[in-house]
Structure 1
Amino acid sequence: MLRSCKYCGRIHDSKYQCSSKPVRRKIRTKQNSFRSTEAWKRKSLEIRERDRYLCQICMRKLYGTTQQYNNREIEVHHIVPIAEDWDGRLDNDNLVSLCGRHHEMAEAGKISQAELKEIARQQEDEM
Structure 2
Amino acid sequence: MLTTCRYCNNIHDSNFECEKKPKAEYKKKYTYIDRFRSSRAWRKKSEEIKKRDKYLCVYSLSKGIIETHNLEVHHIIPIKEDWSKRLDDNNLITLTRLIHEQAEDGTISREELLNLISPRHDEDLKKKN
User: Normalization by structure 1: what TM-score?
Assistant: 0.74
Identity of paired residues, percent? Answer: 43
Which residue, 64, 68, 72 being the options, matches 2:69?
A: 72
Gaps of 5+ in 1: 1-7, 10-21, 63-67
User: Per the alignment, in what secondary structure is the counterpart of residue 40 of structure 1?
Assistant: helix
Q: Distance in 1 between matches of 2:49 and 2:120?
A: 9
1:40 to 39, 42, 45: 42
Correspondence for 1:87? 84
| Greater helix share, structure number | 2
- Give the unaligned 5+ runs of structure 2: 1-5, 8-23, 125-129
Q: List 4+ stretches of structure 1 deviating above 4 A.
A: none
Q: Which has the larger radius of gyration?
A: 2
Provide Cα deviations, 1:7-57, integer angstroms capped at 9, x if missing partner. Answer: x77xxxxxxxxxxxx786342011111001111011000000000110011
Q: Aligned-residue CA RMSD in angstroms?
A: 1.8
Question: TM-score, normalization: structure 2?
Answer: 0.73
The alignment covers a number of residue pairs equal to 103
Instruction: Determine the C-alpha separation between the residues in 2 that align with 1:113 and 1:81.
Output: 10
Aligned to 1:27: 29
In structure 1, how many angstroms separate the alpha carbons of the residues matched to 2:56 and 2:67? 6
**More deviation, 43-52/111-120:** 111-120
